[in-house]
Amino acid sequence: MPKVIGLTGGIATGKSTVAELLEIHGFKIVDADVASRKAVAKGSEGLAQVKAAFGDEAIAENGEMDRQYVGDIVFNYPEKRLELNEIVHPIVRTIMDEEKDQFLAEGYNVIMDIPLLYENDLQETVDEVWLVYTSESIQIDRLMERNDMSLEDAKARVLSQISIDKKRRMADHVIDNRDSKLELKQNLEQLLIEEGYLDSSES
């Protein structure tokens, strides 16, 4: 019986890298970020609703959503974040459910790649949760380096999510990513072996 696994983490924990590795091992990935982009794609009903809620400035010159503009608003005004979520989340869920059902029907194990799985209380929608873990200080360092952020901004982004240590206590399995990419790969393959997804001779 194919399984539905929720893959989550925190900002800059390395979840995308883990998703890529899982795809190599034959899992099908349903990505919440990709679905979110589809939900407000150019010309979509979702984007029309965003424009109505956030004004003409929410639409860039190329007709797509101005992510920087909308992102700054929702980060600073929680009530606007709720408004955006009420528009986008139902559309995203429909897109993701359709993809998941298609993959399950084809017999694949499915990874639901959901960054804010716990924040949006979606853990009951999957069979189990796998968390990509690193320390909060490493999250901040990686975010500063990757996004060229100040320490203050990086801390604010990390602290806007449920703490990675709390998520660690809630998850069914933890994939440690505090060290190198090679060690991350080895940690993931060890989990796959333990859970019966991978033969030890294949790792």
Kindly report the CATH number assigned to the domain that includes residue 187: 3.40.50.300
Residue 98 lies in a domain: no
- The C-alpha atoms of residue 186 and residue 202 are separated, in whole angstroms, by 12
Q: Which pLDDT band holds residue 203 (cuts at 50, 70, 90)?
A: low
User: Token pair 């990509």 is at which residue?
Assistant: 132
15 known ligand binder: yes
Which backbone phi and psi does 126 adopt, to 5 degrees? -125, 165
Share of the chain above pLDDT 70, in %: 100
156 known ligand binder: no
Question: pLDDT tens for residues 46-56?
Answer: 999 999 999 99
Q: Which pLDDT band holds residue 200 (cuts at 50, 70, 90)?
A: confident
- The C-alpha atoms of residue 69 and residue 77 are separated, in whole angstroms, by 12
Question: pLDDT tens for residues 74-131?
Answer: 988 989 999 999 999 999 999 999 999 999 999 999 999 999 999 989 999 999 999 9
Token pair listed for 40: 């407000």
- The mean pLDDT of the chain is 95
200 known ligand binder: no
Mean per-residue pLDDT for 19-37?
96
2 torsion bin: left (phi>0), alpha (psi -120 to 50), beta (else): beta
41 known ligand binder: no
Query: What domain range is 128 assigned to?
Result: 4-27+109-202
134 known ligand binder: no
Question: pLDDT tens for residues 120-162?
Answer: 899 999 999 999 999 999 999 999 999 999 999 999 989 989 9
Share of the chain above pLDDT 90, in %: 92
32 known ligand binder: no
Residue 75 lies in a domain: no
Residue 145 lies in a domain: yes
To 10 degrees, what angle do helices 181-194 and 15-24 make? 50
Rg of the chain's alpha carbons, rounded to an integer? 18
Q: Which pLDDT band holds residue 180 (cuts at 50, 70, 90)?
A: very high
- The number of domains in the chain is 1
Residue 71 lies in a domain: no
Residue 143 lies in a domain: yes
Residue 149 lies in a domain: yes
Kindly list the distances between the CA atom of residue 107 and the CA atoms of 27, 28, 162, 199, in Å, as whole numbers in the listed order.
10, 10, 33, 19
- The C-alpha atoms of residue 196 and residue 28 are separated, in whole angstroms, by 17
